[in-house]
Amino acid sequence: MADPLFDKIALVGIGLIGSSLARVIRRKNLARRISISTRRAGTLERARELELGDAYSIDPAEAVADADLVVVSVPVGSSGEVAESIAPALKPGAIVTDVGSTKRSVIAQMEPVLPKNVHFIPGHPLAGTEKSGPDAGFADLFENRWCIFTPLPDTDPAALEKLSEFWRRCGSNVDTMDPAHHDMVLAIVSHLPHIIAYNIVGTADDLQTVTKSEVIKYSASGFRDFTRLAASDPTMWRDVCLHNKDAILEMLARFSEDLASLQRAIRWGDGEKLFDLFTRTRAIRRSIIEAGQEIDAPDFGRHGADPADGDKG
């Protein structure tokens, strides 16, 4: 196995992403030491029980001391607070990165607070599941997923390359992007889908004419697909909504316009328009499967996992 990339990595936040990083760092020998910090004592204790690191501290400043790489994996609304806590303790020359799903807001919160003698490189691994917490992580999580960096104008190329190498060894493909463009891309590929999923599940939950037990019983006919995204971490997603507001509102406006048009086609019985849209959308899934970003099995492979599954309208 290759020599460790870093002497010490500090993981601030040990949820799904942080704990998956801990596992892959260990498995791929990416650091000699892992120190872990998280806000809640119970979560820290659980990380210790799972033996995710070498040192554990409630105090993020203690965890980041001497670290060559610091990965902040907290809800984006807590980025500024974490940056303030760790700033005085950072080792000169350390690389500091994050995993947040919004980048302009994270940069605005962290960049002004961090010392100039560290390399702050905002990052975002597009990986995860609907589960959260230190038990939910696994070493394969980043395999074949993308990690997007949004470097600042003065980012040191050597530091960026080292961080890129770290993520590649975690299994990811790496990409760089302007922060504003990142936030727009994520608004459509991730934030809007989650918000729509939360919304439709909420609508179903509120109905009077159809009972909740009917919704649950008959959910395999389509609805259950949405419940996965709508089971994602509420704190994380509240923060995403609050911190990528402009791009999300833009995408919501487009979605609502399109929905109004579709609704009109249904009301007026415009079968041709419906057929055209329903045909066009079919091609996109094929492209996603060909790009290696989705499994090529009917019903998400549910039938493979459990022969008792399927769905239709």
Q: Binding to a second copy (CB under 8 A): which residues in 94-113?
A: 101
By CB under 8 A, the residues from 61 to 90 that bind a second copy are none
**Position 207 contacts a second copy (CB under 8 A):** yes
**Position 54 contacts a second copy (CB under 8 A):** no
Shortest gap between Cβ of 149 and a second copy (angstroms)? 14
Q: Which residue has the tokens 């806590």?
A: 85
**Position 41 contacts a second copy (CB under 8 A):** no
By CB under 8 A, the residues from 181 to 200 that bind a second copy are 184-186, 188-200
Query: CB of 119 within 8 A of CB of 161?
Result: no
Nearest to 87 by CA among 107, 117, 56, 58: 117
Shortest gap between Cβ of 294 and a second copy (angstroms)? 5
**Position 262 contacts a second copy (CB under 8 A):** yes
Shortest gap between Cβ of 301 and a second copy (angstroms)? 4
Shortest gap between Cβ of 173 and a second copy (angstroms)? 9
**Position 93 contacts a second copy (CB under 8 A):** no
E-assigned strand segments in 13-73: 31-37, 55-57, 69-72
CB count in 10 Å sphere of residue 78: 18
Query: CB of 75 within 8 A of CB of 106?
Result: no
C-alpha–C-alpha distance, residues 183 and 102, integer Å: 6
By CB under 8 A, the residues from 129 to 158 that bind a second copy are 129-131, 136, 138, 140-146, 148
Identify which range of 22-30, 53-61, 110-118, 254-262 contacts a second copy by CB under 8 A.
Answer: 254-262
Q: CA 234 → CA 104, 116, 195, distances in Å?
A: 21, 34, 11
C-alpha–C-alpha distance, residues 155 and 20, integer Å: 26
Identify which range of 33-41, 45-53, 115-123, 278-286 contacts a second copy by CB under 8 A.
Answer: 278-286
**Position 304 contacts a second copy (CB under 8 A):** yes
Q: Which two tokens stand for residue 167?
A: 């993520």
Q: Is 58 left (phi over 0), alpha (psi -120 to 50) or beta?
A: alpha
Q: Which two tokens stand for residue 86?
A: 């760790």
Identify which range of 2-10, 46-54, 155-163, 250-258 contacts a second copy by CB under 8 A.
Answer: 250-258
Q: Indicate the residue among 46 and 138 with the shorter CB distance to a second copy.
A: 138
Q: Which of 27, 40, 168, 286 binds a second copy (CB under 8 A)?
A: 286
